[in-house]
Structure formats: C-alpha cells, structure tokens
Chain A
Amino acid sequence: MLQLKKLTKTYKTGDQALKAIDLEVPKGQVLALIGPSGAGKSTMIRCINRLVEPSSGEVLLDGVDLARLGSGALRKARREMGMIFQEYALVERLTVMENVLSGRLGFVGFWRSFLRKYPQPDVDEAFRLLDRVGLLHMADKRADELSGGQRQRVGICRALIQNPKLLLVDEPTASLDPKTSRQIMRLITELCRERGLAAIINIHDVALAQMFVPRVVGLRFGEIVFDGPPTGLTSEKLTEIYGEEDWEATIEKVDDSDDIEAAE
C-alpha cells in the first residue's frame, strides 16, 4: 500500500538525513522504526506526509506519488494519513473535543470549522473515539489540563477520526512514563488491528517495539540496516544499529509480563 522508492532527503546544511530509502508497507501491517537519535526516523515519517519536503525519490500511497502532488491534492492525500506526535502536539488552548474534531479539518470547509459546526456524524464519531480511549468525560476540558497519557490518547483520537489508511506515529511514548508508554503502545496497536490500519511507529525504546509489533526496521545514518521480525533483533544486529553496548538485558525484557495493565 505504501511504497518508498529511493527516498532521499538532504537538508540545506548538507546533512544527508535519508539515503535512498526503499521500503514497502502492506495494508494493515504495523511496523516499528528504530534507530539512534539522528538516524533519520523522524525525517522519514515527515517525508511521507511532506511536513518535510523530500529531496528526491517517490512516496507511493496506493500507487499515487505523494512527492509530486500540488498543494490541493496533497491536502487530500494527508487526510489518508493520520499522524501522532512525540509531545502530543495538541492545540493546548482548545478543548479536547475541538482537538479531536480538528482531525476532520481536511473534510469540512473553513467557515464550518471556524464556527465549530461539524457534521453530526463527525461529532458522533468523536464521542465514540473518546469513549473508546476512556476520555469521554473529559470532552469539554481544555487540552492543557490533561496528563501526558491522556493527551496522547486525544492525539490518537485526532489521528483516527481522519479515518486514515495509514498511521504515522512519531515517538509516541518519548515523554511518558514506562507504564503509560505500554498502555499507549497497546492502544495504538489494538486500534490498528481493529481497523485494519497500517502504521509506521517511530520509537527509540527497542524493548517496547519488540513487545508490540510484528516487523521492525532499523535505521542508521539514513540507511536501512535491518528489516525483519523482532526475534531477528540479535545482539549483533542492535550493535550494528546503535553501536557497541551490552544488549542482553534489553532483549530479555521482551517476555516481560503484561499484568500491570490488567488492573486498569
């Protein structure tokens, strides 16, 4: 469904963030993108929905090359891709409900969105999603009154209300504590399964990635150095991605129990 062909990004400073990336993501597959800071994970995700303009190469979504779209067509294409951010990136001074509904901005006209008069199906869907992530009672709270985990749930709702084919997830757990991180990762992967969504989850916590996703792609200096199931992530492979370190402890954590969340 999503295909990257020779995707390259060179910043104005001359740094090559991505070096001719080739990647294919089939429908409904969730994959984790791991790699050290500065490996180009964030750049790659942003090149797909063109928050960052790729320098060359193709980004094919259902056969359409996103890299060549004009601004109107690009907006239509962006509706197909929901994005979840590291620091939640909620509009802090708007209510939770407005933040969720802002996911529909690509579908409604300016005045409708300005006057907050969204179509009833959108409002119902927003309520349903908030209920699904357990935040229905927070709908009229302002986003800056929420805790980190709650904010990220709102961020997930905002991405899902777009009814996308693909989720682009940029470090969803980087600002969360370990327990909340797992809950959020579980929520994202569950929702992807329910809706048959493909997702690229950019994550730096290897153990967390191994715990939840069937496919891992390792990035180092803008090149793919690993692509396979989490079980293939051996100590040598991790060393290749991240550099020399004792990886045994990280790998063993994979079969950690999940019963902490059972209490939720």
Chain B
Amino acid sequence: MTHLQRTLYSIIFLFISVSVFPQTGSFNSFGEDETILYTMNKQVGQFVRRFNMEEDSYGKRLATDDKKYHNNKLREEMLPILFDTYNPRTSGKLKQYFIDDVTDKSNPVFLNFLDKNWYAEVSATFTADGAEVNIILFLTLQEENLGSKWVISNVYYSYFPHLFPHTEDSVHQLYFLHPQSHELDFMNLHRALDDPAHIELYASNYYRPDYLTLFFYQMKMGQLKFKEINSVKFHFFQVKNWYFELSYFNRNDTNSGWLISNLKFVNDEEKKELIKSFKLCAIDK
C-alpha cells in the first residue's frame, strides 16, 4: 500500500469520526501524533468495538438505541481501516469479501468478548538446560463462577514433537503386545518398557500426546524456566468461513495498534483442524 493510500485511509477514518459522530470538540485541534493515537486500536477491546461499531470517535460507548450502533453502512467504511494496510495478505479482494460477509444485511456478524473460538497466542522465551528456547502458549477464555478467566489451552515447543515422531503403519506393526500376553502375566511388557524411544507405539493408535502436560511437568521439575514474553497475537474463528489474526503494530502511523494481520477463507473442516492446535487441552462444557 502506498503512502498516499494510507493517508487516504486516515482521512477516511477522520471523516467517519468527525462527520458521522459529531461531538463537542474537534479533531482539528489535535497535533499529528495525537491523531495517530486516536486512530490507533489501543486495546483489543477497541478493535472489537470498532469492528461492531459500538463506540464513537472518542472511544465513548454508543448507546444500543443510537442510530450508529451496529450500523452496517458505517461498519463497511470502518472495517477496511482495521486491517494492516501494509500487508498484501490483508488487502485486496479477500478483504472486501470478508467485509461483505460480516456486514451482510440479513446476517451481520459481530464479535463478543465471551465468544468461543478466539484464542491468544503468547510467544515466550524459556531456558532449557541453560539454553534459550522459544515456546508458544495458547490461551482461551473460560467462564467460571461469576465471571471468566484466560486459561492455557495448549503449548507448542518444538522439542515435544521430536519425542513423538510420526511413524508409518509398518513401524506400528513391529511394536505391539500380542493378544495372549495376559496369559503370560505380561512378561513381554519389558520389551516396551526397556525401549522408551518406541514406548508410545504400545498405546492405542488413537493416542495423541498431551504436550501441555509435558510442559507442566518440565516446569515443575525445573527443566524449563520462564524468561520473558516476546509477543502476543490473537486468532479469531467466530466468523463462518473465515479465520483472521490480530497483531499489534507499534508504528508512527494512523494504521497502528491492534490490526488484522492475516485473513484466510477456511471451510469448517479446515477450521476444526486449525482450532485443534489452539484448544487441544481446553475442555468444552
């Protein structure tokens, strides 16, 4: 996207802000950097409110009976500005199809804080045996008692899949306990237990390792130590047939703050697979 296009978007934002939401006070009185701070999606919640058209240009909540509240026409104008306009993946026709879908008159889509199927991804540095390693934690919101809380739903640590490499069926056929093992007091079980490299092959074909438990174990044993958080982003799956990612852009530009950094058209099956990696250990009620 060219500088001219970005400037145009800023002007559009200001136009939406000033002309559509007339307020006391004026953007004219802002310095350039103040305009940037106003247009920036300062919180994830602000992104959501703007996505839904639930606040005015000053970040003040619109009353639900306000004509502008959830106004689809205004959303059509606002939504393009909620994308990272520097990124070709979030520009172009796909973006417009997405906007058309979420602002569909007969079935508009709005985001809600307590929606299922939006996840946080926290990339963090840990130390393992003195060496720094990158681990990704996935979190999801869970309702509990009077409110809700973020819970760790899964983890990705490149070391864990190495412990459980993908094995062909032919390999599975080499490692098993025959069906009469019980008659021998499982005397052959030692073959499994003396060979930890293949031990998981003695479990069900449907067995899938729980990396989150491994992670907790390593933390409890002091084998992994937390150092610092590097970045945070969010994954949204609430919109039918769509997935989008939200990232924070710290730049001196009106296209800054929490913006859509990736957008994909995904069918339900693909979506299920993607969600699996985020929520493997989150328990649905």
Q: Real complex partners, A and B?
A: no
- B interface residues (Cβ-Cβ under 8 A, vs A): none
